[in-house]
Amino acid sequence: MITCPHCGAQNRVPPEKIAAGLQPVCGRCKTPLPVPAHPAVVTDANFDQIVTAAATPVLLDMWAPWCGPCRSVAPIVEELAADLSGRVLVGKCNVDDNPGVSMRFGITSIPVLLLLKNGREVDRLAGAAPKRNFLAMVQRHLR
């Protein structure tokens, strides 16, 4: 779902069309819709709205601002958001501010990247790792 910046309408956009390079437009006002290329901020309050309702798999970075390895993974997560746009929704969840999400998935150390489908965990990768490791995890589940 992409919200139109002009009229505020919610638009269901098939991820395969974005992946094919097509520009989505608002169904109500025909304004071009922004394609998310940055990680979504996931919180205890919006988890179901963003993650469970996502039409695509979700790669969720569980992190904290004081964590050195989390800061080293952050640029990779940004790149993944752009690289996987339309095929996977990338999000970030600050574990200090959102203990509900952390407890829901049993997060005991960070960084952890979770791959979720319909709000359920299908894979995880703990610790700082190269981008290729995160991509491999995601690609295993996109087939």
- Check 4, 26, 70, 93 and give the catalytic one: 70
Neighbour count for residue 58 (Cβ, 10 Å): 24
Residue 7 bears catalytic tag: no
- Compute the half-sphere exposure of residue 57: CA atoms within 13 Å on the CB side of its CA: 20
Range 11-49 burial, b when 16+ CB lie within 10 A, else e: bebebeebeeeeebebeeeeeebeebeebbebbeebbee
Q: What is the DSSP letter of 48?
A: I
- Check 4, 26, 67, 93 and give the catalytic one: 67
Residue 70 bears catalytic tag: yes
- Among 86, 91, 85, which residue's Cα sits nearest to residue 105? 91
Measure the CA–CA gap between 86 and 104, rounded to whole angstroms. 26
Residue 45, SS3 per DSSP: coil
Catalytic residue list? 67, 70
